[in-house]
Homo-oligomer: A and B are copies of this chain.
Amino acid sequence: MSEGRDRILKAAEDLFGTHGFDRISVRDIADRAEVNKALIFYHFNSKDELFETVLLNYFESHTEALRESWDATGTLRERVHRMIDAYVDFIVNHRSWPKLVQHVAATEHGEHIPTVQRGLAPMIEWAVQTFGEIAPNEGPTSVRNLFETVAGSVLHHFTYASVLAPMWNGEPLNEAHIAERRAHLHWLVDIMLDAVESGAHL
């Protein structure tokens, strides 16, 4: 509704996503948004609430971007592959998202952990339902293990990009390298599903 509010949110997303909550000051955001510092408090009450709002907005986009994949039909394998693609697409379009989430997880920035948990809930629910068709609740090939491995494999490339750059000729995030990584993820999912289906873990 308000133009200032949107500009603030946009600036906050960019800056928090690039440098993290603690390295960005309210002044930085006001400068980038070209609004008065006090306006941020008028609209969001505190820096923490602003961050929370940014998080919630991201999760909204997240949910929206993935809903189609969550609702998808077809074989289990098809659904998982489609989700991988949607997930990678989402991150490519929202590069600061993994950093934001990981910032909350890593600094144990107390207040925001429940928000992230709530935001991730639909994703986890999807995983439980989908992988639940073929995997047990506990043990080496449990749903939660499959989920963590897929999620970790996807996210890792983006969160550690800066330090792993040398392995990717300095450009881990260019189109070709992301394509290579995406292909690997599809291969990974395939061998995992093969193995689970054939009971190879026994």
Contacts and interface: CB of A to CB of B under 8 A. Distances in A.
User: Which of A104, A106, A120, A153 is most buried by chain B, counting CB atoms within 10 A of its CB?
Assistant: A106
Counting contact residues on chain A (CB < 8 A from B), the size range is 35 or more
A162 B106 CA distance: 8
Interface in A27-47: none
Copies of this protein, total: 4
B113 A162 contact: yes
B141 A187 contact: yes
Contacts of A180: 138-140, 142, 145
Contacts of A154: 152
Contacts of A101: 163
Interface string A76-89: 00000000000000
